[in-house]
Structure 1
Amino acid sequence: MSRQSGSTVARLCVTNAKGGTGKTTVAVNVAGALNERGRDVLFVDLDPQGNATEALGLVESYDAQPPTLFDVLTSADQRSSIADLIVDHDEMDVVPSNIDMLQVEHELTIADLVARVQHDDSIDIDPETLSDLSLNVTPDSVSGAHALDVLDEALAVVEDDYDYVVIDSPPFYGKLTDAGIYASQNILVPALTEASSERAIELLIDQMAALEGQTGITVNTLGVVANRVEKTNEDETMLSWLGEVFEEFPIWEVRKRVALQRAFTAGSSIFQYEESVDMESVFLDVATELDRQFGLLDEEVPA
């Protein structure tokens, strides 16, 4: 697998709309593992709840005044402002989420409707009427057949300083999640080994197909992180099911460990946490495989 077309940086989106999968914990520790391998990482918290932002000790950024990531994604003339939002962390640079992101789904939905109206002569709706329902979207700010390229455009401004962009998606399907996946075109799927995950995975597959149909992109699956795995019959059954559904992709097993949550609460990945965690090797395996898939494995890893 090559890096994303048009980008010199490896981008990936950690996504699963099912709540409680440990999506953000997986995203933070994958980013930490990449950093441990000497890669420069930009972490983008696309979740309006700001769980990663808070977990990485950036609560003040979540409550910051505009311009924020909301403005970057909803105002065409604010894309370059993403550079001013980047905050340093010991393991990675971070584009934090913000409380204003709670309104971004509405804005992106309006923008996508404006795009459809402007590119489909059969729809007799004045795009100005739609933009009146928005805070930042105007007809002249939407030029394509869809409006899911907003994060892609913003990342192009700042990504040259990084080897990887890791996007933590919202825990729901919608235009914001689509924008994260569109920007990366590569997904890493966290999943719990419980029966309720089956429906979530089926919905994810359907969502990827719909996004590909709308935009013409191809979404690559990098692998699955089976999270909080325990030694029960249900876990074994689900691991077998995941192996069948994702038979062409690597599946990593992250065992349930209290230390993972402690590290998350302490504001770091397990690689910076004071307590040793035996799951470090699993996340390093993920990072190594990502390097391989993105063509970076042969590049020297700093000591």
Structure 2
Amino acid sequence: MAEPAKIAVSNQKGGVGKTAVAINAAGALNARGRDVLFVDLDPQGNATENLGLREAYDSEPPSLFDILSDSEQRDRIGELVREHEEMSVIPSNIDMTAVEPELTLSRRSGEQLAMALEHIEDEYDYVIIDCPPFLGNLMDNALFAAQNVLIPALAEDTSKRAFELLFDHVDALTRDYEISIDECGVVINRIDVRKTQANEMIDWIRNAFDDTPVWEVRERAAIQRALSNGASIFVEESDCDQIEVFEAMAANLDEQFEFQEVTA
């Protein structure tokens, strides 16, 4: 199999529904017949819990912490993979709360995830990385490994500053590592169309990202219900009207990464 498409779902601003976007994007790709590896790089472990793997968060070593902080355990990453009905999952772990200083001491602090994924990534079409909601070594690892970013954002004015901070960080990383990081899309998430500011921000984001795909996801209780039940809306809330948005997203990603059309 060719090298997979790798995407970091990233916004250091909390509360934007990043994990919901990551899980439902992965669910949409799975529905198109793609093999997806989902990496929960957030020490809070929300995606791990939302995918029904709460027990993995408290599991004994080796965990993702060990893989990232100890080069001699890097090739054990395959032992971490858990199978979910929609995707393969590398869960987060409670020990991940201590990984930032460990990575700071590493000689190649931003490359640890990329080097670990080399052992298993060829088994998949996509690797979706759910980033932590802060800038730091973990974010660097996600962006370096993926070199593609999908950005969830809210339809509110605070998103402007969040974009600025994220892109400043991305620019610094691309200079330091001499790589390019591409924007594969922006997801305007949890939209409440009754709010004037929301509609104004949608227009602002579309103008600011005129060369980048932008998707609009409406606020729906069904999305949170699906996560509470351990899966994407494709499995748990198949009547949700926002499925069409994620289907369009997955089709566009397939086009961007030049995957062949799925045939029945």
Give your verdict on TM over 0.5.
yes
Partner of 2:110: 148
Per-residue deviation at 1:244?
Answer: 2.2
Choose the corresponding residue for 2:252, options 289, 300, 303: 289
Per-residue deviation at 1:237?
Answer: 1.1
The DSSP-based 3-state class of the residue aligned with 1:102 is helix
Identify unmatched segments of 5+ residues in structure 1: 1-6, 112-141
Q: Which one-letter code corresponds to 1:103 in the other structure?
A: A
Partner of 1:247: 210
Residues 7-156 of structure 1: pairs in structure 2 closer than 5 A: 8-111=3-106, 142=107, 146-156=108-118
Q: TM-score, normalised by structure 1?
A: 0.85
Per-residue deviation at 1:276?
Answer: 1.2
Choose the corresponding residue for 2:125, options 163, 183, 205: 163
2:252 counterpart of 1:301: no
Choose the corresponding residue for 2:229, options 262, 266, 273: 266
Deviations 1:107-152 (A, max 9, x none): 11122xxxxxxxxxxxxxxxxxxxxxxxxxxxxxx3xxx4211111
Alignment RMSD, CA only? 1.0
The DSSP-based 3-state class of the residue aligned with 1:271 is helix
Measured in 2, the distance between the counterparts of 1:58 and 1:147 equals 28
Query: Contact (CA 8 Å) 2:223, 2:237: kept in 1 or not?
Result: no
Measured in 1, the distance between the counterparts of 2:151 and 2:196 equals 22
Q: Which moved more, 1:102-111 or 1:11-20?
A: 102-111
Measured in 2, the distance between the counterparts of 1:73 and 1:228 equals 33
Q: How many residues are treated as equivalent by the alignment?
A: 262
The DSSP-based 3-state class of the residue aligned with 2:235 is coil
Choose the corresponding residue for 1:195, options 130, 134, 157: 157
Measured in 1, the distance between the counterparts of 2:142 and 2:263 equals 29
Quote the sequence identity (%): 52
Choose the corresponding residue for 1:225, options 165, 182, 187: 187
Per-residue deviation at 1:290?
Answer: 0.5
Query: Contact (CA 8 Å) 1:38, 1:302: kept in 2 or not?
Result: no
Q: Which one-letter code corresponds to 2:215 in the other structure?
A: W
Structure 1 residues 82 and 302 mapped into 2: Cα distance closer, same or farther (>3 Å)?
farther
Identify unmatched segments of 5+ residues in structure 2: none
2:180 counterpart of 1:185: no
Per-residue deviation at 1:191?
Answer: 0.2
Q: Which one-letter code corresponds to 1:75 in the other structure?
A: D
Greater Rg by CA = 1
Measured in 1, the distance between the counterparts of 2:161 and 2:9 equals 18
Measured in 2, the distance between the counterparts of 1:153 and 1:301 equals 30
2:237 counterpart of 1:278: no
Measured in 2, the distance between the counterparts of 1:101 and 1:46 equals 8
